[in-house]
Amino acid sequence: MSLLEFENVTLKFGGLTAVDDLSFEVQEGEVFAIVGPNGAGKSTVFNLISRFYDPFVGSIRFDNHDLLQVKPSGVAAYGVARTFQNIELFEHATVLQNLLVGRHRHRRTNLISEILFTPSARRQELENREKVEQIIDFLDLQANRDKMISGLPYGVRKVVEVARALATDPKLLLLDEPASGLSVEETTDMRWWIDDIRRQMGITVLMVEHDMGLVSGVSDRVLAMADGAKLALGTPVEVQSHPAVIEAYLGKAS
Amino acid sequence: MRIIFKTNYMQDIRPWKDRHQLTLYLILPIVVAAAPWWLDDFYLGELTNVLIWAIAGLGLMVLTGHTGQVSLGHAAFLAFGCYANVVLIEAGVPFLIAFPLAGIMTGIAGVTVAIPALRLHGIYLAIFTMALSILMDDIIVLSEPITGGVSGKYIGGVEIFGHLVDRWGTPDQFFWLVLTVAVLVTLGYINLLRTPLGRSFIAARDSEVSAQAMGVDIARTKMISFALSCAVTGWAGALMGLFAGAFNNETFSVLISIQLLMMIVIGGLGSIHGAFLGAIVIGFLPQFLSISKEYVGALFGGNTVAIPGLEFGIFGMILIAFILFEPMGIYGRWLKIRTWFELFPFYRKDMFKRQKSYLKTERLR
Ligand SMILES: Nc1ncnc2c1ncn2[C@@H]1O[C@H](COP(=O)(O)OP(=O)(O)O)[C@@H](O)[C@H]1O
Ligand SMILES: [Mg+2]
């Protein structure tokens, strides 16, 4: 069953066509990668899913819902979580607080019960904490739990962002360049984590990534984009050997 | 170095870290509540004033310190709460109903203001709210039938359970009234910060895009923050009115707005402690200045000199010094000193490095 469907989506910024008549489907349970040169429109695809932009034409469906009907803050409620290419964490909060914000979509309390810290608010906090602890264990963040984000090194921040997205308990996880700027060891860790996220947690992953080793290592299917349009779609091997992709990366031969 | 072993999630959810801290935070209010026995009436009045300012600071802290929305117009909400309280009491509403209602009405007024303010960020929001504060002066003058215009209003004291509580007649009881409000607001604030709503304020402050991606509705969150902030500020205003006894359109000038913002910056943005520490500075600065003026006067053998605007000028200088050297305020400095002792000799200078200011908000592009 397809979880996410893009159908003939086009988005323009002024004269620039950032996404050009793009159609693709992400199947439930797969790791789907989007590759392409800088400015190809990959992050814009993510921002469209997050509803930061309205497409000019086309439809975006998620899990049998029309995504275009919801506000940006409503996307998480359907079970979509994401990371950002230029890390967007809550800088002046601890790692734990950041992950707890991820639990926001499961909030059952209201203003009054929170200000009074009623037993139901307490119960909710304990439940949230338990979920968050599982993710902290999974991603090895124990040592950083109570540290402020503003004091953390880049590599750890990347992991915290993944953790925060996982804390929302998503069906679909969007990772925008999860390995960019990471060391070789950190990239290997990320590779295994993505594998486990899909296998153990049963979460579908849609990721943008430049590291072809990582892409062919974890993804089932790959979409190659250039100038907002689809170049090729298939298994990592198929896409890497596709003539249009080679041309886009290496420039026209002759 | 004190090491805390955590064996239970409640240890993080509870507002105190360990038994040490709990004892301290239980003793502190008791010692303060006993102030009428260890302070004379003059200093008890000063302490009452500090607490009222602290409540106002808590109100602004929710909005500016935790939600990142700078307001230079909170004197308008002080005024709103003050007038609402007195007008309700004059209409025959008992104080114990009028007072909470005054805060709620101010909260609703805050939401009305928040609707246009939601589109504004940083400096533009500051200018908008400042304009509001200036406008409030005219609104009070124009609505003379309700507010008494330039001649203002007067309130002698309030009746609580048939008992007259008055700043001059029963200063100790008025002090306890203020202390009760301060404690209740603080407890509510502590609870807010350990539950989803408070975290969504922080999320909206630090990154609007990712807050949205986590399911936080930014507009709604800011609106609730405005409402809570203004309600608390309204209560502070109501208490200020009772404390002053008489007030008119000039009591809550834009200078009060600026002073309030300076206060929480000096105290430390984004912390409950900051509101109290800032209020202590604001409250005792005039005393401190007049004492030091006497010293300076004595030193030069002359009489004490009167310099108009000195207080505000010194206050501004303190603010500039803080922004330059300690943007985390007094509370931030205290945290650093404490960490230095706790980690000795492992403290690193960059441990508290701030990367971005609170005033930034938009960062998608
Ligand atoms: N908010 C925006 N306003 C104008 N142009 C934009 C905006 N966001 C992205 N673009 C442009 O759209 C194109 C695709 O950008 P992006 O999706 O970020 O590329 P990438 O594939 O590297 O992630 C680029 O040319 C970029 O400059
Ligand atoms: Mg990108």
**Which residues on chain A are in Cβ contact (under 8 Å) with B104?**
none
**Which residues on chain A are in Cβ contact (under 8 Å) with B214?**
76, 81, 101-102, 104-105, 164, 168
Share of chain A above pLDDT 90, in %: 89
Whether residues A134 and A21 share a domain: the answer is no
**Chain B positions with Cβ closer than 8 Å to A:** 9-10, 12-13, 188, 191-192, 194-200, 202-203, 205-207, 209-218, 224, 270, 350-356, 358, 363-364
B86 contacts B311 by C-beta, under 8 angstroms: no
Whether residues A74 and A194 share a domain: the answer is yes
Which atom of ligand 1 is closest in space to residue A85's alpha carbon?
Answer: 23
A216 contacts A236 by C-beta, under 8 angstroms: yes
Mutate to test the interface with A, among B214, B347, B350, B356 (most CBs of A within 10 A): B214
Whether residues A41 and A99 share a domain: the answer is no
Mutate to test the interface with A, among B192, B210, B347, B349 (most CBs of A within 10 A): B210
Closest chain A residue to B362, measured at CA: A88
Matching residue, tokens 């409000």: B181
State which of A139, A169, A199 marks the end of a domain. A169
Nearest CB to A90; choose among B206, B215, B353 = B206
**pLDDT score recorded for residue B219:** 94
- Within a domain: A84: no
Residue B290 CA: distances (Å) to CA of B142, B307, B310:
37, 11, 10
| pLDDT at residue A156 tops 90 | yes
Whether residues A118 and A164 share a domain: the answer is yes
**pLDDT score recorded for residue B302:** 57
What is the identity of the amino acid at B118? L
Measured in Å, residue A39 CA sits from the centre of ligand 1 at 6
- Subunit contact A125:B13, Cβ cutoff 8 A: yes
**pTM recorded for the entire structure:** 0.90
- Within a domain: A215: yes
**pLDDT score recorded for residue B357:** 40
* Beta-ladder partners of A32: A206, A221
Cβ pairs A/B, distance under 8 A: 128
**pLDDT score recorded for residue B359:** 38
- Within a domain: A187: yes
B78 contacts B236 by C-beta, under 8 angstroms: yes
**pLDDT score recorded for residue B350:** 60
Measured in Å, residue A85 CA sits from the centre of ligand 2 at 6
Beta pairing, strands A229-234 & B246-247: unpaired
**pLDDT score recorded for residue A20:** 93
Q: Which of A55-64, A237-246, B176-185 has the lowest mean pLDDT?
A: A237-246
Whether residues A218 and A108 share a domain: the answer is no
| pLDDT at residue A141 tops 60 | yes
**pLDDT score recorded for residue B362:** 38
**Looking at chain A, how many residues does it have?**
254
3-state secondary structure of A19: strand
Q: Which domain holds residue A211?
A: 1-79+171-254
Q: What is the pLDDT of residues B285-326, one digit of tens each?
A: 877 777 777 777 677 665 555 666 677 777 778 877 777 777
Going by alpha carbons, the residue nearest to atom 5 of ligand 1 is: A13
Q: In chain B, what are the domain boundaries?
A: 18-253
Quote the number of domains for chain A: 2
- Subunit contact A150:B195, Cβ cutoff 8 A: no
Whether residues A218 and A177 share a domain: the answer is yes
Q: Quick one: three-class SS letters along A199-215?
A: HCCCCEEEEECCCHHHH
- Phi, psi torsion values for A90, nearest 5 degrees: -85, 95
- b/e code A108-121 from CB counts within 10 Å (16+ = b): ebeeebbbebbeeb
B216 contacts A72 by C-beta, under 8 angstroms: no
CATH code at A48?
A: 3.40.50.300
Beta pairing, strands A229-234 & B163-165: unpaired
Q: State the Cα–Cα distance between residues B178 and B197, nearest whole angstrom.
A: 26
Residue A45, class by beta-carbon neighbours within 10 Å (0-12 exposed, 13-18 middle, 19+ buried)?
Answer: buried
Q: What is the pLDDT of residues B110-120, one digit of tens each?
A: 999 888 888 88
Omega of the bond leading into B345 within 30 degrees of 0 (cis)? yes
ipTM > 0.95 for the complex: no
Residues of chain B with pLDDT under 70: 1-4, 297, 300-309, 343-365
**pLDDT score recorded for residue B358:** 38
- Within a domain: A189: yes
For ligand 1, is residue A47 a contact (CB within 6 Å)? no
Whether residues A8 and A121 share a domain: the answer is no
State which of A169, A185, A219 marks the end of a domain. A169
Whether residues A75 and A175 share a domain: the answer is yes
Whether residues A138 and A30 share a domain: the answer is no
For ligand 1, is residue B365 a contact (CB within 6 Å)? yes
Choose the residue to mutate in A20, A22, A43 for probing ligand 1, maximizing ligand atoms within 8 Å of C-beta.
Answer: A43
Whether residues A149 and A195 share a domain: the answer is no
**Which residues on chain A are in Cβ contact (under 8 Å) with B7?**
none
Whether residues A178 and A124 share a domain: the answer is no
- For B29, other C-beta atoms within 10 Å of its C-beta total 13
| pLDDT at residue A10 tops 80 | yes
| pLDDT at residue A96 tops 80 | yes
Q: Determine which helix (DSSP H) or strand (DSSP E) holds B73, and give its type and residue range.
A: none
- Subunit contact B212:A164, Cβ cutoff 8 A: no
Rg (CA), chain A: 19
- Subunit contact B199:A77, Cβ cutoff 8 A: no
Residue A20 CA: distances (Å) to CA of A11, B202, B208:
7, 37, 27
What DSSP assignment string belongs to B161-172?
Answer: TTEEE-TTTSHH
| pLDDT at residue A126 tops 70 | yes
Whether residues A122 and A246 share a domain: the answer is no
State which of A151, A169, A187 marks the end of a domain. A169
Which atom of ligand 1 is closest in space to residue A42's alpha carbon?
Answer: 21
